[in-house]
Amino acid sequence: MRPFTYERPTSVRDAVALAQSSGEAHVTAPVQYKGGGTNLIDLMKLDVMRPTRLVDITRLEGERLHTVERSPQGLRIGALVPMAVLADMPDVRRDFPVLTDALWLAASAQLRNMARLGGNVLQRTRCPYFRDTTYRECNKREPGSGCAAKDGFNRLHAVLGTSDQCIATYAGDWGQALIALDAYVEILSPEGPRSMLFADLHRLPGDTPWIETTLAPGELITGFVVPGGPWPRSKYLKIRDRESYAFANASAAVALALEGGIARDVRIALGGLATRPWRASKAEAMLRGQSLTEELAMAAAEAEFADAVAHEHNAFKIPLGKATIVRALMELQGMDA
């Protein structure tokens, strides 16, 4: 047992003030917000995360942290909304199915009741070499120690966005849906609020895989904004080893606007395949404004994976990823919307 202090503020300003610490916002940061705790406490029990202060944010009031609001400008979702609450909202399910599918296909009912959306997007990789401290080599956990996965068992590791330092897969599902809808993330720091494209929140591992996001230390995610919509022709397709309660081997969040068979707009984000939620920009560029056919979808998927890098056990993810893109596009094309 490692000692830590536990704070339970009710004001957002107090929470942000309590969370200020020196150093980089990486996995070993000494102060951590606690949402549902389903990832954080898990990693503390495994001795991977060793915070000295927890700031419980579940009782915070204000800043629209707990609400989901709909307006002509789009959808705003508070960061403390539980996964299960958004997943069960009938109008969100009707107008933005990619957002609710991605939640329904994630984790278990118990976890979805506990976990909040802010914590969901910041969940850590499931790379076994990251989660098991008996392995010495993990650059994400211990900067400069190496990457045991590269020559280890890497069946579930990434084929896109990898570096010499890290091939760990981003594990979550919902982030891909946010990227496909061009969502923004709202953030509060001691200097005040700011927002940015959700697609800019997660970093590629590069030479510093332990720095996973562009958040500054102590910054609090307060909400997500999905501009415009509705996107009834959108979906999340998740391929996994078993049908429930498993992370993705490959997934695609796709939003499609079709007009007379032409893909007027198409957004694709991939999960289970990359080191961060992955925008499939090359595939999108080939499809946009074109007549959507299976052949074109396959060519777009080929383009997206042209630079993919496989390791000993995960080469299957390249054809699987391509097939996931094609199937999601074809299923959306065939639906009444």
Is residue 33 a contact point for ligand FAD (CB under 6 A)?
yes
CB-based contacts of 288: which residues, under 8 Å, 6+ apart? 263, 264, 265, 266
The site for ligand FAD, by CB under 6 A, has a size of 30
39 binds ligand FAD (CB under 6 A): yes
| Among 9, 16, 18, 34, contact with ligand FAD (rule: CB under 6 A) | 34
Stretch that binds ligand FAD, among 66-74, 145-153, 166-174, 284-292 (CB under 6 A): 166-174
Taking the complex as a whole, the smallest distance from the CB of residue 240 to ligand FAD amounts, in Å, to 8
Among 74, 78, 161, 172, binds ligand FAD (CB under 6 A): 172
**Backbone φ/ψ region at 62: left (φ over 0), alpha (ψ -120 to 50), beta:** left
What DSSP assignment string belongs to 149-194? TTTS--TTS-SBS--SS--PPP--SHHHHHHHTT-EEEEEETTEEE
Q: Which residue is nearest to ligand FAD (CB)?
A: 119
| Using rule CB under 6 A, residue 74 touches ligand FAD | no
Nearer to ligand FAD, 36 or 232 (CB): 36
Sheet (strand 31-34) strand order: 5-7, 53-56, 31-34
- Point out which span in 113-121, 177-185, 196-204, 322-330 binds ligand FAD (CB under 6 A): 113-121
> Residue type for 64, please?
R
Is the Cβ–Cβ distance between 279 and 268 less than 8 Å?
Answer: yes
Give residues 243-262 in contact with ligand FAD (rule: CB under 6 A): 247
Cβ–Cβ under 8 Å, residues 189 and 216: yes
- Rule CB under 6 A: choose which of 77, 89, 167, 221 binds ligand FAD: 221
36 lies in the site for ligand FAD, by CB under 6 A: yes
CB nearer to ligand FAD: pick between 30 and 319: 30
Burial class (CB in 10 A: 0-12, 13-18, 19+), 141: buried
Q: Which of 173, 292 has the CB closer to ligand FAD? A: 173
Number of Cβ atoms within 10 Å of the Cβ of 335: 14
The answer to whether residues 102 and 226 touch, using CB atoms and an 8 Å cutoff, is no
Determine if 40 is a binding residue for ligand FAD (CB under 6 A).
yes
Only one of the segments 32-40, 132-140, 150-158, 224-232 lies at the binding site for ligand FAD (rule: CB under 6 A); that segment is 32-40
CA neighbours closer than 13 Å in the CB half-sphere of residue 97 = 15
79 near ligand FAD (CB under 6 A): yes
Q: For ligand FAD, which residue of 100, 120, 125, 314 counts as binding (CB under 6 A)?
A: 120
The bridge status of strand 31-34 relative to strand 184-189 is unpaired
Q: Which of 63, 95, 101, 173 binds ligand FAD (CB under 6 A)?
A: 173
Q: Which residue has the tokens 């404004």?
A: 289
Which CB sits closer to ligand FAD, 93 or 240?
A: 240
Compute the distance between CA of residue 9 and CA of residue 14 in angstroms, rounded to an integer.
Answer: 6
What does residue 65 show for φ and ψ, rounded to 5 degrees?
-70, -25
Q: Compute the least distance from the CB of residue 33 to ligand FAD, in Å.
A: 4
The answer to whether the beta carbons of residues 13 and 5 sit under 8 Å apart is: no
Member of 7, 42, 265, 302 binding ligand FAD (CB under 6 A): 42
Chain residues binding ligand FAD by CB under 6 A are 32-40, 42, 57, 79, 83, 106-107, 111, 114-116, 118-120, 122-123, 172-174, 220-221, 247
